[in-house]
Amino acid sequence: MKRFFVISCVVAMLAGCGSAVPLNDVPVTDASAKSVSGTDAAGIGSTGVQAGGAAGSDLGAGGLASASAAQRTVYFDYDSYVIKPEFQSLIANHARFIKSQGARKVSIEGHTDESGGREYNLALGQKRADAVRSALSILGVSSSQMESVSFGKEKPAVQGSDEAAYAKNRRAEIRYQ
């Protein structure tokens, strides 16, 4: 009798197990996806939720919001979070521009090279983003306009496992929203 009971339990459990993990159909109710350019739109799950594409509005000539990646990127030395002198003017330009656009929000995205753990690199990338944020802050940019975040090693600018690639990936990007 007891054995029958055990078997019944096992059978009941097995019967339920086929549905333990649902399919790809993940309802996304709370993802506040926002992307900077249309190409980055994050389609999540098979439900095909698209992030809103918030392209920068036309600012005319010199609008840093639509600047090329080179004009928005600060590169760092190996294992370093110190902003090198050659990037001071880039940061000063952005500080001026952000201050002139009181409603404009910027995201400062820190990145690392591919060496090391994912979570630890996330924290290292955060240090780089924070370094740029505080440099902007010193130049008078309001902290309410800035958010510093990290992608760690998840979004390399360049593929490759040599120092040339690593140098291009150790960076912080200023992105306008």
Partner 1 sequence: MIKRLLVSIFAGILLTLCSSSWAQFRVEVAGVGMTQIPITIASFRGQEQVSQKISDIIQADLERSGQFRGVGAALRGLDELTRPDLSVMRQSGADALVSGSVTKLADGRIDVRFRLWDVVKEQDLGGQSFAVGSADLRLAAHRAADYVYEKLTGDKGVFSTRIAYVTKAGSRYQLWVADADGENPQSALSSAEPIISPAWSPDGNQLAYVSFESRKPVVYAHNISSGKRRLVANFKGSNSAPAWSPDGNSLAVTLSRDGGSQLFILSAAGGEPRRLMQSGGIDTEPVFSPDGKSIYFVSDRGGSPQIYKASISGAGAERVTFNGNYNISPAISPDGRWMAYISRVSGAFKLQVMELATGNVRSITDTTADESPSFAPNSKLVVYATQQQGRDALMTSTLDGKVKARLSGQSGDVREPDWSPFFKQ
Regarding 87 and contact with partner 1 (CB under 8 A), the answer is: no
**Closer of 53 and 60 to partner 1 (Cβ):** 53
Q: Is residue 162 at the binding interface for partner 1, with CB under 8 A as the rule? A: no
53 binds partner 1 (CB under 8 A): no
Among residues 84, 64, 107, the alpha carbon closest in space to that of 170 is found at 84
Backbone torsion region of residue 37, taken as left when φ is above 0, otherwise alpha when ψ lies between -120 and 50, otherwise beta: beta
Task: Confirm or reject binding of residue 126 to partner 1 (CB under 8 A).
Answer: yes
Q: Any alpha helices (H) in the chain, and if so which ranges? A: 2-17, 69-72, 88-100, 118-138, 163-169
According to CB under 8 A, which one of 42, 55, 69, 138 is a site residue for partner 1?
42
Q: Which residues bind partner 1 (CB under 8 A)?
A: 6-7, 9-11, 13-15, 17-36, 40-46, 51, 107, 109, 116-120, 122-124, 126-127, 130, 147-152, 154-155, 175
